[in-house]
Amino acid sequence: MAKVLVIAEQRDGKLKKSTFELLGASFQAGQAGNETHALLLGDGVADLAKELGNYGAQKVYLVQNAALKYYTAEAYSRVILELIKTLKPDVILASHSPTGRDFMPKIAASLNVGLASDCTKLAFEGGKLKLRRPVYAGKATVEVEFLGSGPELATVRPNALGVPKADPSKSAEVLSINIDLSGLKTKVLEVVKGASARPDVTEASVVVSGGRSLKNAENFKILEELADVLGGAVGASRAAVDAGYRPHRDQVGQTGKVVSPQLYIACGISGAIQHLAGMRTSKIIVAINTDPEAPIYQVADYGIASDLFTIVPLLKEEFKKIKEH
C-alpha cells in the first residue's frame, strides 16, 4: 500500500481528463490499500473538489490564491513542497502535460529524488511504483527503477492509462489550506488562447494527421472537417510542417509531439521512422495512402490504398451518420 498524492490539473475552471486517469490508477490499486490524496490549486476552483472525489480521491487539499490563477512552476512548487512536509506521500503523480512536465523536475530536485517522466504504464507493487516509459520516442521502452530513498515521482502521458468511470456516490474530504505565496520571481503577464477550438494533439482521443501529399496548407481543411466530426485534433508529419502547411505544434513524431489517441488516422503519410515513433502507441491506426508499400502500413491496423482526396470527404459523411444516431 502506498500513500499517493495526485497533483490535479485544471485550466479555465475545468479539470483535465489526465487527472482522472491518475486518480483511477491509484484508486484501482486502492483495493490493495492505497490512500489517494489530491492537491487542487487555483483561484476560485473549490467547485472542482467534488469531481476529484467522484474519481477516487479520498482527501482533496484545496489551495486557492490569486497567485495561482495562472500556473507558474515557482508557485506550484512552493505549495507542493509545503504540503508534502506534513503529508509525507510515498508517491507523487502528475500528468506529462505542459504544466506537469514543467514543475515536477523542480520538485524532484528540491527533494533530491528521482523522477520518471512521461510514463505510459503504471502499476503499484508492494507500495512501490512499477513503471514503463518510452525512450527514443517510442522506438524502445524501459522499466524505471528508483535509486535512493524518498518519495517516488512520476509524470504520466495523457491518454496512456484510460479514464475510469466516475462514481457520483464517492466523495472526498476537502481541506482548505493557506500557503504564503509572496515574493515570487516569475510572473505570468497573460495567457493567450489558441485560435482553434480543437483539442491539443497530445490530449485528443482522435487525431487526423496529414503528410506532404496534402500538397498545401489549404487542403488540410478536409482533415479539419473530418477531425471536427470526431471531436478530434489535426496533426501533421515533419514533411508537412517543414513545407509550411501546419505549425510545429501540430507535428507528430520524434521531433514533435508523441501521441497515443484511441484512433489515429494517417492521411497521405508515408511513415518515416521518426513519425512512426510519435504515434505507434495509438490504440487503432488507420492509414490512407495510395502507395500500398508505404511503411505506414506496417503499423496500421486498417488501410485504404486509395486517394485521400476521395476517401477523406466520404469518411466525414459516413462518420456524421454515426454521430447523428
Partner 1 sequence: MNIYVCVKQVPDTETKIKLTADSGGIETAGIKWILSPYDEFAIEEALRLKEKNAGSTVTVMSAGPARVVEALRTALAMGADHGVHVELPETADNNMAAKALAGALKKETKVDLVYTGKEAIDDGAAQVSQLIAEYYGMPYVTVVLNIEYGASSVKCKREIEGGAFEMIEAPFPVLIAAQKGLNEPRYASLPNIMKAKKKEIKALKMADVGVTDGDRKIRYKNYQLPPPKQAGKKIAGDPAAQVKELVRILHEEAKVV
- Could you tell me the smallest distance in angstroms from the CB atom of residue 235 to partner 1? 13
CA dihedral 95, 56, 178, 94 (to 10 degrees): -10
Are 230 and 244 in contact by the 8 Å Cβ rule? The answer is no
| 36/155 with CB nearer partner 1 | 155
CA dihedral 203, 208, 212, 215 (to 10 degrees): -130
Residue 12 φ then ψ, to 5°: 50, 45
Strand-strand pairing, 233-236 and 121-125: unpaired
- Could you tell me the smallest distance in angstroms from the CB atom of residue 59 to partner 1? 28
- Could you tell me the smallest distance in angstroms from the CB atom of residue 244 to partner 1? 12
| 216/298 with CB nearer partner 1 | 298
Query: How many CB atoms within 10 Å of residue 214?
Result: 27
Residue 249 φ then ψ, to 5°: -65, -20
- How many angstroms from the chain centroid is the CA of residue 190? 23
- Could you tell me the smallest distance in angstroms from the CB atom of residue 92 to partner 1? 14
Residue 211 φ then ψ, to 5°: -115, -165
Please state, in angstroms and rounded to a whole number, the distance separating the CA atoms of residues 37 and 23.
8
- Could you tell me the smallest distance in angstroms from the CB atom of residue 238 to partner 1? 9
| 46/302 with CB nearer partner 1 | 302
Please state, in angstroms and rounded to a whole number, the distance separating the CA atoms of residues 274 and 109.
31
**Which residues pair with residue 3 across a beta bridge?**
35
Q: Which helix (H) or strand (E) holds 152?
A: strand 152-156
Cα within 13 Å of Cα(228), Cβ side: 10
Please state, in angstroms and rounded to a whole number, the distance separating the CA atoms of residues 264 and 224.
14
| 174/272 with CB nearer partner 1 | 272
- Could you tell me the smallest distance in angstroms from the CB atom of residue 69 to partner 1? 12
| 106/215 with CB nearer partner 1 | 106
- Could you tell me the smallest distance in angstroms from the CB atom of residue 226 to partner 1? 11
| 62/207 with CB nearer partner 1 | 207
| 46/191 with CB nearer partner 1 | 191
